[in-house]
Chains A and B, each alone.
Chain A
Amino acid sequence: MVLKDQLSHIIESLSQVGFEMVLIGGSLLLLLLGLIAKRSLVSQIVYVLVLVLAMTLVPLPTDLGVWFGGALAVQELTWLFRLVFSFLGVWVVFYPTANRHPFEYYFLLLAVIAGSAFMLSAQHLLVIYLAIELTSFASYLLTNFNFEKRSFEAGIKYLIFGGTASALALYGASLIYGFTGTLLVSEMDFALVQNPALLNVGLLLFIGAMLFKVSLVPFHIWVPTTYQVAPTSAVAILSVIPKIAGFVLLHRVLLAVDVHTQYWLYVVIVAVGMATIVIGTLGALRQTNIKRMIAYGAIAHSGFLLGALLIPGETGVVAFAWYALAYGIINLVAFYMVSVLEDRQLLDVKDLAGLSRTEGYFGGLITIVMVALIGLPPTVGFTIKFYLFTALWGWYQTVVDPWIMGYLVVALMSVVFSLFFYLKVPYFIFLKESDGDVQSVTNPGQRVIATIFTLVLLWLFISPDILNNIADNIKSIAW
Chain B
Amino acid sequence: MTAIPLTYYLVVAAFLLCAGLLIVLTKKNAIMVLIGIELMLNAANLNLVAFSRNDPQLNGQVFAIFSVVLAAAEVAIALAILLNIYRKYNSSDLDDLNTLEH
Contacts and interface: CB of A to CB of B under 8 A. Distances in A.
Given A159-B77, A163-B78, A164-B24, A171 B63 contact: no
Interface in B53-77: 54-55, 59-60, 62-63, 66-67, 70, 73-74, 77
A63 to B, nearest CB: 28
Interface residues of A, number: 39
Given A130-B66, A171-B40, A159 B78 contact: yes
Name which of B45, B54, B70 has the most chain A CB atoms within 10 A of its CB.
Answer: B70
A290 interface: no
Interface in A282-332: 289, 292
Interface string A151-169: 0111111011001100110
The range of chain B's interface size is 35 or more
A229 interface: yes
A129 interface: yes
A137 interface: yes
Nearest to B78: A159
Most interface-central of B24, B44, B67 (chain A CB within 10 A): B44
Nearest to A176: B51
A175 B10 CA distance: 9
A167 B44 contact: yes
A149 interface: yes
A182 B73 CA distance: 26
Given A159-B81, A170-B44, A177-B51, A126 B62 contact: yes
B66 A156 contact: no
A125 interface: yes
Contacts of A159: 74, 77-78, 81
A228 interface: yes
A181 B55 CA distance: 7
B77 A140 contact: yes
Residues of B contacting A: mostly: helix
A177 B59 contact: yes
Given A163-B37, A171-B47, A177 B81 contact: no
Contacts of B55: 181
Most buried by B among A150, A168, A292: A168
A350 B95 CA distance: 30
A377 B82 CA distance: 47
Given A159-B78, A160-B24, A160-B33, 17 more contacts: A130-B70, A133-B73, A137-B74, A144-B81, A156-B85, A156-B97, A160-B94, A163-B37, A163-B78, A164-B21, A164-B24, A167-B20, A170-B44, A175-B47, A177-B59, A181-B55, A183-B63
Interface of B: 13, 17, 20-21, 24, 30, 33-34, 37, 40-41, 43-45, 47-48, 50-51, 54-55, 59-60, 62-63, 66-67, 70, 73-74, 77-78, 81-82, 84-85, 88-89, 94, 97, 99-101
